C-alpha cells in the first residue's frame, strides 16, 4: 500500500503571550478504509494569461463522495496578487501571494458539480496544484 502523508506546522512566537507551535501529520486514506489513497494528480503549474476563472479540478472526472484531497498554492510574490478559490461556484476564500491551501474534496456531482476553480486578480499569475485521489 502506498503511503501518503500531509504534515502541517503552524507557529508563532508573538501572536499570543505564549508561543504557538502546532504540528500534525495525516496519513491520507480512502473512504471508510485504512488503505491509502490510490493516485496523485500533478504537481501541476499553470500561468493564467488573463483574469478569467479557470477550472483546475473537474468533479465529473472523479468518483464523488470519496476522500480526495487537494493542494493549491499561489506562487506570486506581490502581496496584492491573489487567487479567489471557488468550490462548486461558492467562494471558499482568497489565496494571497505565497499562500497555500490543503483541503478535503468529495468531487460531489449530485447537485452543482463540485468543480474547483481559481480566478486570478491580475493577468499572468501562476498557481501550483495537485490532488490525491481516493
Partner 1 sequence: MATTTAAVTLTSDLLSDAMSVTASTTCMKAGTSADGLDQLEYAVVEIATGDEYDLICTTPTASKASKLFVKNHSIDETYYVAITQNAQAIGRLYGGDWMFIPADFHDAAADIAITSNGGTNKIEYTLFHEGTVLTTT
Q: Write out the residues near partner 1 by the rule CB under 8 A.
A: 2-16, 20, 22, 24, 26-29, 31-34, 36-40, 43, 65-69, 71, 73, 79-80, 82, 85, 87-106, 108, 111-112, 114, 130, 132
Residue 100 CB, nearest approach to partner 1 (Å): 4
CA-CA distance, 40 to 15, in Å (whole number)? 36
Distance of CA 116 to the CA centre of its chain: 9
Q: Are 132 and 40 in contact (CB under 8 A)?
A: yes
Closer CB to partner 1, 24 or 49, in the complex: 24
Give the HSE-up count for residue 8: Cα atoms under 13 Å, Cβ half-sphere: 8
Q: How far is CA 96 from CA 28, 38, 43, 123, 128, in A?
A: 26, 31, 20, 14, 13
Closer CB to partner 1, 48 or 95, in the complex: 95
Closer CB to partner 1, 105 or 120, in the complex: 105
Residue 49 CB, nearest approach to partner 1 (Å): 22
Residue 80 CB, nearest approach to partner 1 (Å): 4
Residue 123 CB, nearest approach to partner 1 (Å): 17
Give the HSE-up count for residue 125: Cα atoms under 13 Å, Cβ half-sphere: 28
Closer CB to partner 1, 31 or 52, in the complex: 31
Amino acid at each position: 500500500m502506498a503511503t501518503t502523508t500531509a504534515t502541517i506546522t503552524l507557529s508563532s512566537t508573538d501572536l499570543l503571550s505564549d508561543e504557538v507551535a502546532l504540528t500534525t501529520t495525516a496519513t491520507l486514506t480512502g473512504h471508510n478504509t485504512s488503505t491509502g489513497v490510490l493516485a496523485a494528480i500533478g504537481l501541476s503549474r499553470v500561468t493564467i494569461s488573463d483574469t478569467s476563472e479557470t477550472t483546475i479540478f473537474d468533479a465529473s472526472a472523479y468518483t464523488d463522495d470519496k476522500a480526495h484531497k487537494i493542494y493549491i498554492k499561489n506562487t506570486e510574490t506581490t502581496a496584492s496578487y491573489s487567487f479567489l478559490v471557488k468550490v462548486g461556484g461558492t467562494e471558499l476564500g482568497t489565496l494571497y501571494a505565497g499562500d497555500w491551501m490543503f483541503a478535503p474534496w468529495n468531487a460531489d456531482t449530485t447537485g452543482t458539480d463540485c468543480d474547483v476553480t481559481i480566478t486570478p486578480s491580475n493577468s499572468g499569475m501562476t498557481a501550483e496544484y495537485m490532488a490525491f485521489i481516493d
